[in-house]
Structure 1
Amino acid sequence: MTDESALAPRTRALQLFDGLVTDTSLRRFLEGIPGVDAVGLEQRAAALGTRSIKTTSKAAAIDTIISMIDLTTLEGADTPGKVRSLVAKALVPDAGDAACPQPAAVCVYGDMVATAVDALGAAHGQISVAAVATAFPSGRASLRVKLADTADAVAAGADEIDMVIDRGAFLSGQYAQVFDEIVAVKRACRREDGTSAHLKVILETGELNTYDNVRRASWLAILAGADFIKTSTGKVSPAATLPVTLLMLEVVRDWFRLTGERIGVKPAGGIRTSKDAIKFLVTVAETCGEDWLTPELFRFGASSLLNDVLLQRQKLATGHYSGPDYVTID
């Protein structure tokens, strides 16, 4: 990604707001977006959650889910050994089946990026390294610190940056501050060779309080240059609910219809079973279309989901459930 294209979202927003991005212009736009019909949203999410898929399609769905997982460890007690163990699992999810797909990425704190890159070796690129940044999970730091956090992770080899927005600023109506921070972080994602790490913008929907705020924050993040919009840090409850993910998918669908640009969505936190993950896949297909059923446009942020999906995959292959000791303990 070149410097010019990295700034394209800001140029796009400037055109939308007649050349001036301010709290007033952003408020006029964001608060002019029609309100969310909460009852209708939740009913549609519930209906999509009851859809079943044929047994012949389930194997493909399970492999798709595995390919979309950002295998994650984000604990204060993380060690290089734990990160290497996580990478080993990403490289070989099922030691008994060489045909098992690999996850899309491993997601770690910025100071663990170099360890993850080293552990991946030649597979780095085939499996991405995602790093949380900008004072994750609270986002409570100066912009200078947030940008340094991002730049350090990119310099260490991160392919993707998962940033958090300043929820306090957003809820206070300081939309321009949130917009400018996303633009600045996107700029900090650039590498010396002119390419750029992909930027996922975490909304922390559990702290935004209303569906209207989730819709506005989604539009704001996309206007500022997000490659993905992500529900949660996984540290706040509720995290990735189906109604919230549906709402965010509707925003990226509407953005695509408006601009022709595809933006990704990443639900994170609380998705632990293949049954739940399949509900999200159905919601993606029904809302944005099957073009979004790819790791380039949809991810699951998860640590324990992979184990359940692997057990379900083994069940389809053998006809019986394996015990939990047939998968590694994270």
Structure 2
Amino acid sequence: MTPNHAGLLPQLSGHQAHPRNPGMPLDLDWVASVQANTSAIERRAATLGGRRSVKKDFQAAWLLKAISLIDLTTLSGDDTTARVQRLCAKARQPVRADILEALGMPGLTTGAVCVYHDMVETAVRALEGSGIPVAAVSTGFPAGLSPWHLRIAEIGESVKAGAQEIDIVISRRHVLTGNWQALYDEMREMRAACGEAHVKAILATGELQTLRNVARASLVCMMAGADFIKTSTGKEAVNATLPVSLTMIRAIRDYEDRTGIKVGYKPAGGISKAKDALLYLALLKDELGHDWLQPDLFRFGASSLLGDIERQLEHHLTGHYSASHRHAMA
């Protein structure tokens, strides 16, 4: 990739200085006014692939951008210290050095590494000096049903261990019963427990039944101070989808229009192909603009996605697809 092509997307890596979301008082009238036209949202999402297509150098540039926005994740019961260390090495060097060199992007890293609390210290040590933050899933992930005092304590322990970002899970029952005050109070307290660490609110959208519930839950979490809203834990039967993403992104846009505050977005679960990442990036750019194409306002929660992107980048350079084992994730 020539320097001209490398510059197709501004600020391929690095962060902009956006203020954190301080939140606002709960506005139940605003929440009650939020609706979601499901059929229109689904039609809009279905047309995206046909209307937004990038090829050759432009596609390579967008895929490099996608790498810089990945929260490289391992959330398995059989995680080991060695696995997390390998994942962190992959975050530091997400694509084979010869490929990045040929594309003019040496030094590219992922946006963050996401692990369970027990592996935070391991990840922090492995990423020392890299500038890559560690995100910890917390608050009784994935169900969020552990005792309240333990959920708050878990946040504190993860921050103490060095996590710079905390991915919390909301109580789905508050959304399903329309108890927006309870959701707001819960989110507000979890935001306070995070201190300086940025907080991503996981809505578990596959369990919220309707897009209207998704839109209202998104808004309430932002009112309570969430720095990011995130689709899923990755453990639900249905995780990130384009209709859900469009709903949440438009809630973010409405919140910025009303308050002037930018809130980040993180789709997670089921995004494993490079072509899917391109659709999400196109949707984000269409709806929110260039500001959100940076790691402080957008992340992919993914693991296998990186391997497919690496294969596509090698194909871009050589014209051939390599075996997946040549791009091992961990």
TM-score (normalizing by structure 2): 0.89
Q: Name the stretch that deviates more: 170-179 or 292-301.
A: 170-179
> 2:303–2:329: 8 Å Cα contact kept in structure 1?
no
Partners in 2 of 1:180 and 1:31 — Cα distance? 17
Q: List per-residue Cα deviations over 1:257-296 (Å, max 9, x = no partner).
A: 1221110100000000000110001100111112211111
In the alignment, what sits opposite 2:54?
53
* Equivalent in the alignment of 2:167: 162
1:176 corresponds to which letter in structure 2? Q
SS in 2 for 1:221: helix
Counterparts in 2 of 1:230-245, with a 5 A limit?
230-245=230-245
Q: Give the equivalent residue in structure 1 for 2:293.
A: 293
Q: What does residue 13 of structure 1 align with?
A: 25
Identity among equivalent positions (%) equals 46
Structure-1 separation of matches of 2:49 and 2:254: 22
Which residue of the other structure, out of 135, 138, 148, is the alignment partner of 1:133?
Answer: 138
- The answer to whether the aligner puts 1:72 opposite 2:77 as a matched pair is no
The AA in structure 1 aligned to 2:72 is L
Query: Residues 73, 217 of structure 1: CA spacing in aligned structure 2 closer, same or farther, 3 A cutoff?
Result: same
Q: What is the rounded CA distance, in whole Å, between the counterparts of 1:149 and 1:159 in structure 2?
A: 14
Amino acid at match of 2:53: S
Instruction: Report the Cα distance in structure 2 between the residues aligned to 1:296 and 1:226, rounded to whole angstroms.
Output: 13
In structure 2, C-alpha distance between the alignment counterparts of 1:155 and 1:319, rounded to whole Å = 47
Whether the aligned pair in 2 keeps the contact of 1:268 and 1:302 (CA below 8 Å) is yes
Aligned to 1:275: 275
**CA 1:324–1:250 in 2, change beyond 3 Å: closer, same or farther?**
same
Deviates most, 252-261 or 169-178: 169-178
Calculate the TM-score normalised by the size of structure 1: 0.89
Match of 1:302? 302
State the match for 1:81 in structure 2: 82
- Kept in 1, the 8 Å contact 2:228–2:266? The answer is yes
Rounded to whole Å, the distance in 1 between the matches of 2:31 and 2:270 is 29
Cα distance between partner residues in 2 of 1:292 and 1:8? 18
Aligned to 2:185: 180
The residue that corresponds to 2:108 in the other structure is 101
1:203-222 matches, within 5 Å, as 203-222=203-222
Distance (Å, rounded) in 2 between the aligned partners of 1:7 and 1:267: 19
| Equivalent in the alignment of 2:149 | 144
Measure, in 1, the Cα distance between the counterparts of 2:251 and 2:166.
21
Amino acid at match of 1:105: A
Shift of 1:322: 1.7
> SS of the residue aligned with 2:33?
coil
The answer as to whether partners of 1:206 and 1:238 remain within 8 angstroms in 2 is yes
After superposition, the C-alpha distances for 1:2-22 in whole angstroms (9 at most, x for unaligned) are: xxx98941xx216xx4xxxxx
Q: Could you tell me how far apart the structure 1 residues matched to 2:226 and 2:71 are?
A: 17
Q: CA deviation at 1:318?
A: 2.0
Aligned residue type for 2:186: E
Q: 1:224-250: per-residue Cα shift (whole Å, max 9, x none)?
A: 000000000000021000110011111
**TM-aligned CA deviation for residue 100 of structure 1:** 6.0
- Please state whether the residue corresponding to 2:97 is helix, strand or coil: coil
The Cα RMSD (Å) is 1.6
Alpha-carbon distance in structure 1 between the residues aligned to 2:21 and 2:69: 28
Q: What SS does the aligned partner of 2:127 have?
A: helix
Aligned equivalents of 1:7 and 1:236: distance in 2?
Answer: 27
> How far did 1:55 drift?
2.3
- 2:316 aligned partner: 316
User: Which sections of structure 2, spanning at least 5 residues, go unmatched?
Assistant: 1-18, 101-105
In the alignment, residue 59 of structure 1 is paired with which amino acid? A
Residues 129-178 of structure 1: CA distance to partner in whole angstroms, max 9, x if unpaired? Answer: 00000000000022211110100000000010000000012212222121
1:7 and 1:183 in contact (8 A); partners too: no
Say if 2:21 and 2:262, in contact at 8 Å, map to a contact too.
no
Whole-angstrom distance in 2 between the partners of 1:100 and 1:310? 15
